[in-house]
Amino acid sequence: MQIRNPILSGFYPDPSICRVEDWFYMVNSTFAYFPGIPIFRSRDLACWEQIGNVLERNSQVSLEGCGHSEGIYAPTIRYHEGVYYVIATNVSGGGNFIVTAGHPEGPWSEPYFLGEKAQGIDPSLFFDEDGSCYYIGQRENSGGSRYFGDCEIWIQKLDLERMELVGESHPVLYGFEKNAVWPEGPHLYKKDGWYYILHAEGGTERNHCIAAARSREVFGPYEYCPANPILTHRHLGRDYPVTCVGHGDLTEDGNGNWYMVMLGSRPEMEHTLMGRETFLAKVVWEDGWPVVNPGIGRLETFVEISGFREKSMEPGINADIQEHSKVYTFEKEKFPPEFLFLRNPREGMILSGVEGMFLRMHMNPAVLREQTFPCYAALRFRDRSFAVETELELKTDSEYHCGGMALVQSNDWHFRLECYAVPQTKVRLTACLGGKEVVLGELLLEKGRRFQLRVDVDGLKGSFFCRTTEKSFDKEDRQDPQIWGDWKYVMENVDLRPLSTEKAGGFVGCTAGMYASGNGQADSGYADFAWFSYKTF
């Protein structure tokens, strides 16, 4: 069977994986987005279905005031004696925490925060053969930081009944390179009498890599693999199609076959819009060490694996992870699990299932350039070339109120395609570039409060379209040219490189979604969205 990389395209960094009987489960970082930590399942490592989100209640996570690259870092998923565990870091409040569930779909518990003993980030759990549980994580060098990025990997026993670290804390590794920077993302395993640590190193950019170490005792001493780094693309040059490879986790399929998931980026002309994605590689063991993609030593577009049936997902589940085209309607109150919101959305501000057909966004004062709670419901960029469309109707008498769509990298770097109905009907394209707002284009339209918007993303270029009608909403006329007429350009071939990680910085990829704002003003106005579509070119 052949798997195509990436196995999760788009902003799905820091993957962690575990297997329970015939199912593999995987989680990823979400940073400032809510709900937090998507959870996927697969029978064959190729076809992944999102079955929910671990942090889906405001009581579980506070993201108030956090920047786009703050919030929830590097979750790990593990299973032990009928209980699923996810451990992660909220760098914006509370630190390292554990949530548990009896079923991976949830519901997941309220967080157990591990307190000041659990310093640092990137925690993971390991269950030994005697049932003991160990915490492994990253923190600043406890012997004194000599330079920026001087960190250590450390292990301590965890009492699961009290959810408390007990005993001594043991620093075990400082990175395999001389004056190593950012050893992080550690995971602990046991195989053939050896304890193995897998960790990232070199920072999350082009020097990212994965290293392995082993010991006969859980607290060490650990020896590094003589072939480290066991995986990196740092030596392949800027033009190689996959870069920044690191942050891996291992799994075994039950038949002795081993695999690794890890993050990587796919830049286009040295600019990355989709962020860090999830990739897969084969692993074999030679002389007691893991070898990644033997004979190749790097990530490949296609991975040959054995022991799985073709299209082994259950009927009704989309088995083609590369096909992301879908039209979303809003008859139900519950959002599809892949939708994202910025920070914790305020209750009642974004509602699905209104009148059995609309997504309603109320005109709260918040705007995207602020680290607050804007009305924004979005999907990740999943492809290099795609189109997003939506239809909305404005219900407001304020000249400040708008509704529309946005392409978002962060508060300071985004594009907004905004519709206004007062004092005249218009659509405006605004770019926020490093926190500075620039109006790129504005189109005056015939009177109407019902709009259709479209954004075509083609690599590093974007084209923005609109059309309007005075006719009341009818779900049968979505594409009726007699009702809507032709699309009108607001602006074409806009340079989208400001949305790239290389320009904006940070750890996240781009999202595209529906947006509404009172632009500092609040009253009873709102925008009703009838549908939202994502179509791969």
For residues 502 and 458, what is the distance between their CA atoms, to the nearest angstrom? 18
Query: Three-state SS for 504?
Result: helix
Return the SS3 of 443: strand
Which residue carries 């290293």 as its tokens?
Answer: 211
CA distance 466 to 491: 10
What's the chain's length in residues? Answer: 537
Percent helix, strand, coil in the chain, to 5, is: 0, 50, 50
Indicate if 122 belongs to the active site.
no
Q: Is the dihedral of CA 156, 159, 163, 168 positive or negative?
A: negative
User: What CA–CA distance (Å, rounded) separates 535 from 471?
Assistant: 26
| Preceding omega of 13 cis (within 30 degrees of 0) | no
Q: In whole angstroms, give the CA distance from residue 184 to residue 325.
A: 36
Chain centroid offset of residue 434 CA: 22
Which of 184, 277, 393, 412 is flagged as catalytic? 184
Catalytic residue among 14, 56, 70, 389: 14
* Torsions phi, psi for 113 (to 5 deg): -80, 135
Local structure of residue 333 (DSSP, 8 states): S
User: In the annotation, is 277 catalytic?
Assistant: no
Please state whether beta strands 289-292 and 488-495 pair in parallel, antiparallel, or not at all (unpaired): unpaired
Active site (catalytic) residues: 14, 184
